[in-house]
Amino acid sequence: MESQLEQIRAEALAEIERASDETALELTRVKFLGRAGSISLASEGMKTLSKDDKPRIGKLLNEVRQTVTGALDARKAALADGRDTAALSEIDVTLPGTRVPVGSLHPITRLLDRAIQIFRRMGFVLADGPDIETEFHCFDALNTPPDHPARNEQDTFYLPDGRLLRSHTSTIQIRTMESQPPPIRIIGPGAAYRRDEADATHLAQFNQMEGLYVDEQVTVADLKGTCEFFFRELLGNDARVRFRPHFFPFTEPSFEIDIKATSLGTGEKWLELAGCGMVDPAVFESINRKRGDEAYDPERVSGFAFGFGLDRLAMIMSGVTDIRLFTENDVRFLEQFR
């Protein structure tokens, strides 16, 4: 009996090894483990054994059954693997992936959001104001004389009711100071409008970002620290920032900010990118008159303001030479800013 079992085991293992496909393997399984299979018959034969032989032979029988079952499973898995491998072996993994439609943010939006993130890290919050403004918010409150050329119908768009389309986002400073006492620390992005004939560097509408910080003891040093940090964050650590005295009605002293940076690829040329200065006391005084209080007492608080054009900055940063590309919405242009 024992030798018979050993022989069954050897035969089974050999036949399993020989099975070349899953059908042949199944026939082998039936032959040995099926109801009429030789291992099944051998366990039938157990009944005839003596009490002494039973445990020994039973144990052996179990071993044989387990060995054969294990070999069958292993062979089955190997055959399945082989089949899967064959099926996949011809696939060219370098074929392109299935195309998923992709879009992109507008380059101005990208820059705007990036600028906002930088200022937020410095503790600035966003402020807003309408595009349609009063002369007070756009000019009077910003210390612009009544006969200043910017107020001209040649330069600024007016509505029939006497209001105008803001010619700069500095109106947001005024709106914010009107409604909130100091300290304030804001940035205000938005559209501005000027009656400029469209050409490669001008559009009647463009995008600006305005900043204002009013508090006790704000100085030119704070203005410098803020603007230098911003431009270095935006343009890289090697960006050099030059403040050049200038004139704006609403700041005193006033500066223009010139930048040199490797990332701009414009060589050794200083690029004029922003205007800034210390809020002119006259601006605070007109805010106080409008508020009817002394919240912005120029003897007690001071502040700095800055503003820059997003379109021009985006043009320089990305090498766009015609501003009109920003409003044409040509996908061949937009997709380059993915």
Q: Which two tokens stand for residue 94?
A: 């370098």
Q: Toward other proteins, which CB reaches closer, 48 or 217? A: 217
Binding segment toward other proteins, per CB under 8 A, in 39-47, 58-66, 81-89, 236-244: 236-244
| Pairing mode, strands 125-126 and 184-193 | parallel
232 near other proteins, judged by CB under 8 A:
no
Task: State the alpha helices, DSSP H only, in 208-320.
Answer: 220-235, 281-291, 310-318
- The distance of closest approach from Cβ of residue 157 to other proteins in the complex, given in angstroms and rounded to an integer, is 5
Q: Both ends of the chain: CA-CA distance in Å?
A: 78
Q: Which two tokens stand for residue 287?
A: 């805010």
Q: Toward other proteins, which CB reaches closer, 34 or 130? A: 130
277: left (phi over 0), alpha (psi -120 to 50) or beta: left
Q: How far is CA 289 from the centre of its chain?
A: 44
Integer-rounded Cα radius of gyration of the chain: 41
Grouping H, G, I as helix, E, B as strand and the rest as coil, residue 89 is coil
Binder of other proteins out of 243, 250, 296, 308 (CB under 8 A) = 243
Query: Contacts with other proteins in 2-61 (CB under 8 A)?
Result: none
Which candidate, 154, 215, 220, places its Cα nearest to that of 186? Answer: 215
- CB 299: neighbour CB atoms within 10 A? 8
Beta-strand ranges (E) seen in 127-237 are 132-133, 164-165, 184-193, 205-215
- The distance of closest approach from Cβ of residue 178 to other proteins in the complex, given in angstroms and rounded to an integer, is 15
Q: Toward other proteins, which CB reaches closer, 67 or 219? A: 219
Grouping H, G, I as helix, E, B as strand and the rest as coil, residue 93 is coil
Give the C-alpha separation, 104 to 111, whole Å: 13
Binding segment toward other proteins, per CB under 8 A, in 64-72, 83-91, 224-232, 286-294: 224-232
Angle (CA) 247 249 254, round 5° = 40
- The distance of closest approach from Cβ of residue 196 to other proteins in the complex, given in angstroms and rounded to an integer, is 8
77 near other proteins, judged by CB under 8 A:
no
Residue count, binding to other proteins (CB under 8 A): 83
Q: Toward other proteins, which CB reaches closer, 242 or 291? A: 242
Give the C-alpha separation, 152 to 158, whole Å: 10
Binding segment toward other proteins, per CB under 8 A, in 20-28, 31-39, 60-68, 121-129: 121-129
Binder of other proteins out of 29, 72, 124, 141 (CB under 8 A) = 124
- The distance of closest approach from Cβ of residue 319 to other proteins in the complex, given in angstroms and rounded to an integer, is 19
Query: Contacts with other proteins in 196-215 (CB under 8 A)?
Result: 196-198, 203-205, 215
69 near other proteins, judged by CB under 8 A:
no
- The distance of closest approach from Cβ of residue 263 to other proteins in the complex, given in angstroms and rounded to an integer, is 21
336 near other proteins, judged by CB under 8 A:
no
Query: Contacts with other proteins in 253-312 (CB under 8 A)?
Result: 253-256, 278, 280-281, 302
Give the C-alpha separation, 313 to 75, whole Å: 68
Query: Contacts with other proteins in 133-152 (CB under 8 A)?
Result: 147, 149, 152
Query: Contacts with other proteins in 79-118 (CB under 8 A)?
Result: 95-96, 98-106, 108-109, 113, 116
